[in-house]
A and B are shown apart, each in its own frame.
Chain A
């Protein structure tokens, strides 16, 4: 492989990693607050359509992005309502959300299949893009990728350096302790789920606004499920989420190039690669979490457990 090819491959990996990173960070926020949201796939699909629709209608990519985020927050608000007000099972509600979101986006999007929209275009950052290797890989991307560089830092800061984040984590670990400290765990959970939904929605918006620039069905393509698995791989840490997202983005970009290069390997096997990697990643994190790093790598203690009303 020539150096140019490698640089192009790396740039494609970063590009492919961005939507997965947004969704993984969103799910981390939700799970840190104690709510398991398996509906990421549906959230991404629906917000991809919302972003496409608004961008298509107004011609404004930032408005489209905002619409995608809001659609994600609203859909996750539904999950929060089911789980926290009606004490529904988080797994069941999440799965329903995944199916509902994908179905609704297909239904609403049918008239628009094949239509294009402007969305976000790539632009080079002055100076930084002149760096060897790093320049073309990191700094000749679109605005949403640059946003993706800031997102993990922002999520980390929120969780670890703000009182809101401390409350969120306490709620995910032991809602009773948060309540005893005078916080409102229900409200904190609702915030975590919806803020997480907003990030997942941004990930979905990326797909229609920066990845394809046109509407097709099945745009989310399993990325939501990968994000759910990546949260475990990342041990619920934003920093490791970056690593995981890049790994997956890399594999996705690599299999596309291989297909384009016309190898003898059947394309269905290549398409399978990212998901095979998902399984491997989960096995890896499960074996890690049995070892010494277990305590730090453990899931939030109250993850998936609804807060029962007192008495």
Chain B
């Protein structure tokens, strides 16, 4: 199983942004690095407009994707996948999420805000099936 590491500040920023955009789904891209075993470190999160402006759908604008990808290249980062929030449902891919996951190399991160405490998970989606990735939120001192 692929390990995804992200500094706790990245997690905090995603939660803050997603809460600010309630009741709509919030979304964006994730970028960072990948080692020879496929394990990943998220180094930057992109907060992009949900052009659906809906509480149950999201779509990224290709123009925004393009701008983010150019920024990643300039910073020497690799596009690792995307993230979006589920304001009222669990942190797992919906049928629509699975159907619309076209890049098997991407990590698909889903933040659930349905409960008091946010829940963030990352998934690999391929051929209509999904598998949870080993997402580890880290601090400078310890892993948990």
Q: A and B: real partners?
A: no
